[in-house]
Structure 1
């Protein structure tokens, strides 16, 4: 990832945008990363609505199964030495 100072990014915005189409671009201010410029495609992929845990569980083949038995492991905890 290429790093740009804020002043350089402002002065060379067209080049920055072209570079962001290929890989994310880091923007720094006073030596610290403050922003990342990325392509629209990458942004859409990262911000796409994710499926909820409830929806994921409802798609499970065990969703409406009545014969599923879940038992807790009752064994003693193990000793850990420090």
Structure 2
């Protein structure tokens, strides 16, 4: 077994050890039929991966459409009649 690679059977048998290694030593790769299948990583590492690189305000400020003029006025006309 390579340092951070686990065969599926070993990963199942030593799941607690696998989780401990992922929490303290980084991502752990589980192989199935000799090929990399999945990666087990700590919640901290996972949250780093899914965290947006920028916040929503910064995203809109740097958007190519940021310099476009938007009409934010509302029509004063009465709404159309509908039959209920």
Q: Which runs of 5+ in 2 are unaligned?
A: 68-84
Matched length: 62
TM-score by length of 2: 0.61
1:58 aligned onto 2:61: yes
How many Å separate the matches in 2 of 1:44 and 1:57?
A: 23
SS where residue 27 of structure 1 aligns?
strand
Larger-Rg structure: 2
1:18 Cα deviation after fit: 0.3
Runs of 4 or more consecutive aligned structure 1 residues displaced over 2 Å after TM superposition: 49-52, 54-57
Q: Which runs of 5+ in 1 are unaligned?
A: 65-82
SS where residue 36 of structure 1 aligns?
strand
Match among 29, 33, 37 for residue 32 of structure 2: 29
- The CA RMSD over aligned residues, in Å, is 2.8
